Amino acid sequence: MPLSTPADREPLHRRQIDMRGYRRADGLFDIEGHLVDTKSYGFDNEEKGWLEPGTPLHGMWIRLTIDEDMLIHACEAASDHTPYGVCPQAAPNFARLAGLTIGPGFNRAVQERVGGVIGCTHLREMLAQMATVAFQTMYPVRREKELAREAATGVRERPRIIGTCLAYDPSSPVVKMRWPWLVQDAAE
C-alpha cells in the first residue's frame, strides 16, 4: 500500500542508497553500500563552481568484508563525488572498522573509530543500514548453524530477534507460528 497522495510539491533533493550482500568464493561475505545525492536545481559550489541539476553532490561507496560470526575482516570506502576536495581523505580511515563485530554496540563502536572529524557523516550513517543488510545476508548461514547446534545438543535457544519489533513481540501470531515451542515453554 503506497503512501497517501501528497500535496502539490516540487522535488529538491534525491538520495539513492543501494545495499547488497554477497557470498565470496573464499568463504567470507561482502556487504556493499552505494550512496548518491543529487539536487533538482543547479547551484554554485564553493570549490567546484556551478553544478548542473542532477550532478552528484555525494557519490560514496563502502564495503564490509565479514565472516559467519559477523566479524569485520576489512572495510573499504571510496568517495567519487564530494562537495569539497578534502572529503575523500576520510575514506581510508574506515579501515579502522576491521576487528569489530556487527551486533550490540556496533553503532557506538563505529562512532568511536570513525566519528567526528576523522570520518564522513554519510559513510558512517550508511553503516547502520549495512549492519541490517549483513544480518539479512547471513540469515541462511546462521540459520543452518542454529539448526545443526539444536540437532547436536537438543537445546533450542530463544531467538535474539524476539522483542525487536511488532511482528516479533513475544505474544504475536508470528512468534507463535515460527517458534511454537516458545509459547509452550512460557505456558509451563
pLDDT tens for residues 71-93? 999 999 999 999 999 999 999 99
pTM: 0.88
Same domain, 98 and 147: yes
Same domain, 170 and 106: no
Asked, for residue 8, whether it belongs to a domain, the answer is no
Same domain, 162 and 77: no
Asked, for residue 7, whether it belongs to a domain, the answer is no
- The predicted pLDDT at position 108 comes to 97
Same domain, 103 and 174: no
Residue 137 host element (H or E): helix 121-153
What is the pLDDT confidence band of residue 160, given thresholds at 50, 70 and 90? confident
Number of domain units in the chain: 2
Rg of the chain on CA atoms, in Å: 21
pLDDT > 90: percent of the chain: 82
Same domain, 39 and 105: yes
Q: Which own/partner contact pairs does 111-118 have at CB distance under 8 Å and 24+ positions apart?
A: 114/90, 118/90, 118/93
Taking 60 as the threshold, does the pLDDT of residue 105 lie above it?
yes
- The predicted pLDDT at position 186 comes to 57
Give, in order, the Cα–Cα distances in Å from 127 to each of 106, 110, 149.
Answer: 9, 8, 30
Same domain, 117 and 171: no
- The predicted pLDDT at position 155 comes to 86
Asked, for residue 24, whether it belongs to a domain, the answer is yes
Same domain, 162 and 150: no
Same domain, 105 and 130: yes
Same domain, 145 and 173: no
- The predicted pLDDT at position 140 comes to 92
pLDDT > 70: percent of the chain: 97
Same domain, 87 and 135: yes
Same domain, 119 and 165: no
